Structure 1
């Protein structure tokens, strides 16, 4: 019983206090610290330090729970000594009393460092507990309500039959911050017109510098830059691991509403510089001969243009060395993560490829990794055949090229294209006709599970048509055989009595998109936007976790829910305060009292009620699937007037 356990601990601590009179600190790991201290009054005599609680270790079976609980307790007690040593070292580095640290030492430390630096520069702090900066006379709800800085991403769909490589980008935020002056100089001073040297004494009142909400954060931007430069010096001179952690997680701190000094304007300012550095990086890669397949702030996928894996690795190494020699990319680390012998790529949620494991590989050892979000709306039976057919579309040309590898690359590529065309005209068309016939005869009564669809994804009912649309869209990614795929699609549509150019024959990505921006992993600093409605890893009832293969840490549920709640609040506010536009000329209504536009057109809302309803239903579906109670309550309340 909990009360009996508290009495035993109370007695043990009292006996310890009578015997030992030296300095003592209580290290506590529990779900609720207040209830523990209320039940164990002896803890009031000691300074208490709390270890972050892992709720996964609090789930036990109803029967025979004692042994696992005791095992976990002993393990955590043994690990507490190492944790305390680290916390003491962190306390010494931050010059903060040991017991003053919160759950997240890194956020707390950066807040402390920045607060001290701002105070030294005679700056007023905008400390806030709700993630919205306290700016005094400025209406924070109006100016800084939304912190939706969308990540830049580039997608070039296609079939890449040569070796491709995924390169992870490290330290982009730190590099952009410390190289912001260089970026501004490259832009002729117009990119960050207010970004002047720290020692600059004022400016002319006649300067035509553009002003927006980020301008007020210019001084804070300079202070943050100096702070990060000091951390970099600590890393280079003494190898300080805590300074290194601050550098690695800078982007996470910037977009974390848990920070007391969270400022969306400061985040937006750095984001602009990151965009420019990112664009320069891609330009440099293209200049050196790389073909971009996909790129965002955390990774870039390129086509090396080499058939041989060892040659592709050597090319990639020389490419990264050349990029690293540039002064503007001095702090960026580019790390090759994965290689593919062949890659069929639609977007970051829809692709498949032959993963390269070593230089010498036989067709029997091939592993094809399929990730097709667009196939999730098909019944499971059809999904399996879809994946098999697409895998064959990737594997057969690669196997053919492997057998004909002795020729030149140009002739080999031409032979591979001709081989694939022959396969489409004979093998693939016969296979697909047979499959479509099988779907029409056996799958008429099947119902797709509601769990596989989110709101806004209504089943079309004709799964043979859905299958033809989806498989044709995927195979058409290879531009070399596009005409052959279109002819095959025409014949398949004719088989089910659908015209080639009919509206129902057009492929549309069936899923809505809902972006949760600026999600950074607190463990590995992977920084990306989450598409909650399209990413297959987020469409299950499992807890959301980092996608990095070397991390996998579960995201903070409370922070995720709070971010979604903020998005719901913003969308509701935008819906009620939206402009009226003319239904004929699309001009925004300027005169408040006029009933009609000057062109005699009637006015309508920019966002209609059904569109807003559809958006809110998506949030409600996510809340139910992830068991976000507060989000579910909020969206249900918003949807009440629409259900009447």
Structure 2
């Protein structure tokens, strides 16, 4: 055991051989200067850190005269983003202060005609330090300096190096147990501030500021705390923070935000020498408090990343109780959150105080960037929507969404066998890891695969070796894809070794990271390449389901509905066999296929219009409580209220009666189970063809008699009520058709729309098209419409506004949103930020977490840009022979036909008008403004 050492000598012992654990790298107000917060045993030490500006110039020809002698310019060779040719690459390293002083010099340097590209200019200084140092560092051999001296003169980033595993003797921050934390909670709404500083002793210092100057305290804090703390203990949640049994609240009232922040600063000033870290729970970033709280810089600040709604003061009548509940929920959650944050920081080697706002994307960015650096590749790190490609990203418009890049299959019909709904997860990860098998099965290894054949330098010089692979308009280098594949494989192996650990979180968010423009390492080309692999894998999986005896009813990347050949009662066992058989295939090893629900009977039009009998107990062959009916018909929402209820009830009854007819004959003709001799046919068994014939006869009789009489009576009643309503001076509200975001055509009278929609649903019964046709003719005749008149033709009253591959930030559930037709997206709730107002609720169906509305709105705005670009750059076709024009100069086609647009201007305007309706209905102000301005100038 070491002998006691005087405190004055402790700093001298901590030299280069000592590992410094990094809590946070924090920017200061001076450019290029940062604070490096280190954990040394039980102490927190702040060290000044200087980080230089570093970027790369790819020159067309070597010309060192471009550079000034006051900074370093080193020639080297690296792999450029998207495998762009590396000609004469120089790394420029210059202090940030000098970079700002010589702004004109560097502006001329980066815009010089000899410069082909400027790379890594957009990487923040803090992130560059995090990428290099990780969670622990030591000084280099050339910079032998004690910790005491570093506090006075500071450190250069180049004088530090990442501490290797051999130097790290314990877990990062001892698993977080050595952290002494203060909890700071901040909520705001319409000028009302609630700021709470919580000490480890349980003392709550509550600061309140209100524009009206009210002095209302937060009530029942102890009761709320005790109830939530008891629930936390009962749940057995592991926490790094020891919560007291009792709390003590002190209130301070302030007139405005400035005085509130000044009071907080004064309170923090009394705690500066006690080695505290601050865990900040706020919708505002730490920079917001750095500018307003003078003593905030004296503490490392760990942002607690949670939903914005947790930091929103409620409406005036309920603000006290709801604010107390949010405060206590966040306070009791932060201990377990900190434990998980330290685990993630340890795994991804990132200081706990530097975790990004979207942790899963941030960790993936860091891991991928480090792997690229280790393989001598430059980064395309960019905070914007486009990757940093050295300037080439601005030379072309962003590619439009390829409608063939995803899969959206639908086979309308009436399905009487059991249908199985399946949720699909990890499709992107599986497609990347099994990319070689996908291409082997399709015979495309030479075009889109990265083969493992080795090449000589002569092969690369002569161009015989491929430098990149292409899939559609995406270009990807083998090295980049290999790094991505290796990272995914590492995550998956670590997930298997440590279930529930940080790697599992990374695996779950893999596709969200690849497809999210908010990721710093987002590359549309990489996303489209992986999406192409996903499509290939998905099609192969559907083919495997078909080979095993099931047919596809509906399929997209996140959800599949299959119709089986099995009757009720055997669905669960068959589903287990089916999914195990698919997962046993080498191509689908890493896919997660989870049964969602079973339908004993399904009437399917499309993903927004379906109804059926859901099997509550898949193991049971009969239901004692009657069938459980699931109804989701978007078309009925366009009916006036007077007709909507009738349509819903009638269609529901039809589904129940059709299901009953099929089940009655299937049960009656099913022979009882008994032991029979081998090779002897059971004479009592009814042939399947005979059973089907009896069922068809029963359904035919039902359609021709009972259903025809009932629908004729229903239409007569609606027609009489409609005539009476039309005689009123003002049309009753229950007979007015609603205006919905998908409304795009003029609706006929309610009774005619009822007849057309009901007959469209019955047409799904393909085996009885003649009977349905006769019924349709009789109903149209009753309302005075000819069978083949244009007014009698049915079309979907709703347009579509599809946002594909929306990933939940909480559970990573993948879903295609239709903002015009999905019923759960139309539900309205009170807007918390605007008292008295309402807004639509966009929640994940799997975990009920809110979707990122801002990201979806940004996607829709990009869709308008892509639509305009595609319309302007589209091909021309002949009005007579429909051939596409192959040159740019011919005034007319060879057949003497005139040229016209492939997609007319009217169609583009219609789609933009739909987006305008969507923006108005769902409350998307930026989308509405952009769509309306586009319509105005077009």
User: 2: distance between equivalents of 1:346 and 1:584?
Assistant: 35
Verify the 8 A CA contact 1:538 1:544 in the aligned structure 2.
yes
- Confirm whether residue 372 of structure 1 aligns to residue 625 of structure 2: no
| CA distance 1:53–1:167, change in 2 (3 Å) | closer
Tell me which residue corresponds to 1:634.
930
1:275-354 to structure 2, matched below 5 A, reads 275-309=535-569, 311-354=570-613
Tell me which residue corresponds to 2:298.
45
User: 2: distance between equivalents of 1:307 and 1:369?
Assistant: 19
The 3-state SS of whatever aligns with 1:289 is coil
| CA distance 1:207–1:412, change in 2 (3 Å) | same
- Compare 565-574 and 534-543 and name the one that shifted more: 534-543
User: 1: distance between equivalents of 2:850 and 2:923?
Assistant: 15
Tell me which residue corresponds to 2:718.
439
Of 156, 175, 180, which aligns to 2:411?
156
User: 1: distance between equivalents of 2:289 and 2:844?
Assistant: 36
User: 1: distance between equivalents of 2:903 and 2:351?
Assistant: 52
Tell me which residue corresponds to 1:82.
336
- Confirm whether residue 391 of structure 1 aligns to residue 646 of structure 2: no
- Confirm whether residue 423 of structure 1 aligns to residue 681 of structure 2: no
Of 775, 796, 801, which aligns to 1:488?
775
Q: How many residues align?
A: 638
Task: Give the CA deviation at 1:297.
Answer: 1.5
User: 2: distance between equivalents of 1:458 and 1:29?
Assistant: 46
- 1:543-563 CA distances to partner (integer Å, 9 max, x unpaired)? 453553x31221111111111
Tell me which residue corresponds to 1:242.
502
User: 2: distance between equivalents of 1:497 and 1:147?
Assistant: 45
1:595-634 to structure 2, matched below 5 A, reads 595-634=891-930
Verify the 8 A CA contact 2:609 2:635 in the aligned structure 1.
yes
User: 1: distance between equivalents of 2:782 and 2:341?
Assistant: 69
- Compare 488-497 and 443-452 and name the one that shifted more: 443-452
User: 1: distance between equivalents of 2:454 and 2:351?
Assistant: 33
Verify the 8 A CA contact 1:397 1:416 in the aligned structure 2.
no
Structure number having the greater strand percentage: 2
User: 1: distance between equivalents of 2:464 and 2:562?
Assistant: 47
Tell me which residue corresponds to 1:27.
280
- Larger Rg, first or second structure (1 or 2): 2
Verify the 8 A CA contact 1:13 1:42 in the aligned structure 2.
yes
Of 187, 193, 205, which aligns to 2:463?
205
- Confirm whether residue 187 of structure 1 aligns to residue 415 of structure 2: no
- Compare 80-89 and 533-542 and name the one that shifted more: 533-542
User: 1: distance between equivalents of 2:599 and 2:260?
Assistant: 57
Gap regions ≥5 residues in structure 1: none
User: 2: distance between equivalents of 1:450 and 1:434?
Assistant: 23
- 1:150-192 CA distances to partner (integer Å, 9 max, x unpaired)? 4202212111112221112222211111111112222334475
Task: Give the CA deviation at 1:475.
Answer: 1.0
User: 2: distance between equivalents of 1:36 and 1:206?
Assistant: 58
User: 2: distance between equivalents of 1:451 and 1:503?
Assistant: 23
Of 788, 801, 808, which aligns to 1:501?
788
Verify the 8 A CA contact 2:826 2:840 in the aligned structure 1.
no
User: 1: distance between equivalents of 2:469 and 2:485?
Assistant: 22
Tell me which residue corresponds to 2:355.
101
Structure number having the greater helix percentage: 1
TM-score for the superposition, normalised by structure 2: 0.64
| CA distance 1:578–1:367, change in 2 (3 Å) | same
TM-score for the superposition, normalised by structure 1: 0.92
Tell me which residue corresponds to 1:17.
272
- Compare 45-54 and 142-151 and name the one that shifted more: 142-151
- Confirm whether residue 126 of structure 1 aligns to residue 380 of structure 2: yes
Verify the 8 A CA contact 1:28 1:48 in the aligned structure 2.
no
1:261-276 to structure 2, matched below 5 A, reads 261-276=521-536
- 1:15-60 CA distances to partner (integer Å, 9 max, x unpaired)? 2235x2x252343323464443333222111111222343333141
| CA distance 1:546–1:462, change in 2 (3 Å) | same
Verify the 8 A CA contact 1:151 1:529 in the aligned structure 2.
no
The 3-state SS of whatever aligns with 1:371 is strand
Task: Give the CA deviation at 1:326.
Answer: 1.4
User: 1: distance between equivalents of 2:870 and 2:738?
Assistant: 30
User: 1: distance between equivalents of 2:875 and 2:363?
Assistant: 43
| CA distance 1:7–1:27, change in 2 (3 Å) | same
User: 2: distance between equivalents of 1:200 and 1:324?
Assistant: 35
- Confirm whether residue 476 of structure 1 aligns to residue 729 of structure 2: no
User: 2: distance between equivalents of 1:10 and 1:586?
Assistant: 74
| CA distance 1:335–1:479, change in 2 (3 Å) | same
The 3-state SS of whatever aligns with 2:867 is helix
Verify the 8 A CA contact 1:163 1:303 in the aligned structure 2.
yes
- Compare 605-614 and 198-207 and name the one that shifted more: 198-207
The 3-state SS of whatever aligns with 1:142 is coil
Tell me which residue corresponds to 2:752.
465
Verify the 8 A CA contact 2:801 2:819 in the aligned structure 1.
yes
| CA distance 1:450–1:527, change in 2 (3 Å) | same
- Compare 628-637 and 589-598 and name the one that shifted more: 589-598
User: 2: distance between equivalents of 1:5 and 1:518?
Assistant: 44
Verify the 8 A CA contact 1:393 1:475 in the aligned structure 2.
no
Of 216, 222, 232, which aligns to 2:482?
222
Of 285, 289, 305, which aligns to 1:36?
289
| CA distance 1:353–1:237, change in 2 (3 Å) | same
Task: Give the CA deviation at 1:11.
Answer: 3.3
Task: Give the CA deviation at 1:340.
Answer: 1.5
| CA distance 1:282–1:603, change in 2 (3 Å) | closer
User: 2: distance between equivalents of 1:578 and 1:277?
Assistant: 30
- Compare 90-99 and 9-18 and name the one that shifted more: 9-18
| CA distance 1:330–1:362, change in 2 (3 Å) | closer
| CA distance 1:238–1:540, change in 2 (3 Å) | closer
- 1:354-400 CA distances to partner (integer Å, 9 max, x unpaired)? 11112265364322111111222211222222222222222113234
The 3-state SS of whatever aligns with 2:423 is strand
Task: Give the CA deviation at 1:84.
Answer: 1.6
Task: Give the CA deviation at 1:215.
Answer: 3.1
Task: Give the CA deviation at 1:104.
Answer: 0.7
| CA distance 1:176–1:587, change in 2 (3 Å) | same
Two-structure CA RMSD over aligned residues (Å): 2.6
Tell me which residue corresponds to 2:518.
258
User: 1: distance between equivalents of 2:439 and 2:876?
Assistant: 39
The 3-state SS of whatever aligns with 1:16 is coil
Verify the 8 A CA contact 1:148 1:517 in the aligned structure 2.
no
